[in-house]
């Protein structure tokens, strides 16, 4: 039993399933956390800038910095624990909600009809992020702020093609 657990590369991996790659959203996806940190630091420094002779106001800045750091760490944890696992059978999206909530969405590669991506103008081109859209019969899976969307798009296309080839081979062996 412990030998089977050691062979698993991620939680929920099926027997015979091969991990192809893992990707996550670009760090720009947590820009709201950066803004909250910078905004609280700026707000905390204003009183000291107005009354520069009162050194006790530096404590206010320090307190606002710690508060901004807490807000930033919350957004960092939401970014860090949200990721996408692509295997030879499926795509698994793990999304962190709050400190204790988690959503898991699975999509079989054989159900994918179309994959596309877009890069949103100059900032997307400059920082190498974009949106990937995976279309199925049921609906679309839209993944925003993906790091290097062109590379992820190509890997996803290869994974879908590999899955279709495996499924075709399985159907041939069943018919024989």
Torsion of CA 127, 82, 89, 156, to 10 degrees: -10
Which part of the chain has CATH 2.30.29.30? 19-25+84-168
Structure tokens at 24: 């996550």
**Is residue 5 within 8 Å of residue 125, measured between CB atoms?**
no
Q: Smallest Cα–Cα separation from 47: which of 38, 35, 55?
A: 55
Quickly state the pLDDT bin for 13 (edges 50, 70, 90): confident
- pLDDT tens figures, 30-84: 899 999 999 999 998 888 888 888 888 888 889 999 999 999 999 999 999 999 9
- Output the pTM of the full model: 0.80
Fold entry, domain 19-25+84-168: PH-domain like (2.30.29)
| Long-range contacts of 159-165, Cβ-Cβ distance < 8 Å, separation of 24 or more | 159/20, 159/86, 159/87, 159/88, 159/91, 159/109, 160/109, 160/112, 160/115, 162/88, 162/109, 163/88, 163/89, 163/108, 163/109, 163/110, 164/109, 164/110
Is residue 16 scored above 50 in pLDDT? yes
- pLDDT tens figures, 108-141: 999 999 999 999 999 999 999 999 999 998 889 9
Is residue 5 scored above 60 in pLDDT? no
């Amino acid at each position: 039993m412990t030998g089977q657990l050691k062979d698993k590369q991620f939680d929920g991996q099926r027997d015979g399933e091969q991990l192809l790659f893992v990707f996550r959203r670009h760090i720009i996806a947590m820009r709201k956390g950066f803004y909250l940190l910078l905004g609280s630091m700026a707000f905390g420094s204003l009183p000291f800038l107005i009354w520069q002779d009162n050194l006790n106001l530096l404590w206010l800045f320090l307190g606002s910095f710690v508060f901004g750091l807490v807000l930033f760490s919350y957004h960092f944890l939401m970014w860090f624990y949200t990721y996408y696992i692509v295997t030879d059978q499926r795509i698994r999206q793990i999304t962190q909600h709050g400190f204790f909530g988690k959503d898991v969405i699975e999509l079989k590669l054989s159900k994918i009809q179309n994959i596309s991506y877009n890069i949103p103008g100059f900032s997307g081109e400059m920082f190498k992020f974009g949106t990937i859209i995976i279309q199925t019969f049921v609906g679309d899976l839209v993944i925003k702020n993906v790091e290097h969307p062109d590379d992820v798009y190509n890997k996803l296309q290869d994974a879908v093609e590999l899955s279709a080839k495996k499924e075709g081979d399985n159907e041939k062996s069943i018919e024989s």
